[in-house]
Amino acid sequence: MKLPCRTSLVSSALLCVAACGDAGTGLLPPEDPEPFEVDGLVVGPLAYVCSQWQYVPHADPVTFDFFFAAQDQEGPRDSDLDALTEVGATVVHEFEVAAARAVMRLSAVASIRGPEWGLLNHVRAVPAPDRFDVEVVVLYDSFLGTALRERVLELGGYVRDEWARERDFIAGLRVVLPDTAIAVLRSEFGPKIGRLEHDAFGCLGW
């Protein structure tokens, strides 16, 4: 059995989160899980993690946001996109992190499953196709102070977690923000940002 756990950058800890379905039985939830919504931002519920589907929307075709395992990329790799098109998915948006939105027939969903799809970290459902919001982790030099946090808010983002170097040994934020804001942060803060990548999940298995 494998359980999805949010990978925390704080003290290298793994913080377990509740999956939408039973990862052991493969049963899907009878009702649609709620997306995360705040201040006009929308992040869809977790659909796939730890090589298993947890939730599939009742739609055909269906739209997903695919978050790839190679997090340290400023956008998805060609090989990631090729893997989606090979199963019949149509990529409709490439994010400024290692992620892409794609539309696919419901019958093709089952072809994305198992260890051979290790190129994926997780997949989210898309409840609002006109929104391109994404949850990211940003690590930065501590001397930035509150400047980065304030800029995230100015760009329409929302801060979910904040880590301070003197307490957590790193300086960073976990935020939800529009995809267009990511390029702005990279441009304005440059090398002062150590890492900016999509939030990710590890798996605990036994």
CA nearest neighbour of 109 among 154, 64, 172: 64
Is 9 within 8 Å of 204 (Cβ atoms)? no
Strands (E), the chain: 2-7, 14-16, 36-38, 41-43, 46-49, 52-53, 62-68, 90-94, 99-104, 120-125, 133-140, 158-163, 172-178, 193-198, 201-205
Q: Which residue has the tokens 């799809």?
A: 117
pTM: 0.84
- CA–CA distance, 144 with 147 (Å, rounded to integer): 6
pLDDT in tens, 40-54: 999 999 999 988 899
Confidence of residue 141 (pLDDT cuts 50, 70, 90): confident
Q: How confident is the model at residue 62 (pLDDT cuts 50, 70, 90)?
A: very high
User: DSSP character for 97?
Assistant: S
DSSP letter, residue 143: G
Residue 83 has pLDDT above 80, yes or no: yes
Which of 3.40.50.970, 3.30.70.80, 3.40.50.10490, 3.10.20.30 would CATH assign to domain 133-205? 3.30.70.80
Tell me what pLDDT residue 77 has. 92
Residue 31 pLDDT level (bands cut at 50, 70, 90)? low
Residue ranges of domains in the chain: 2-125, 133-205
Instruction: Give the C-alpha separation, 43 to 33, whole Å.
Output: 12
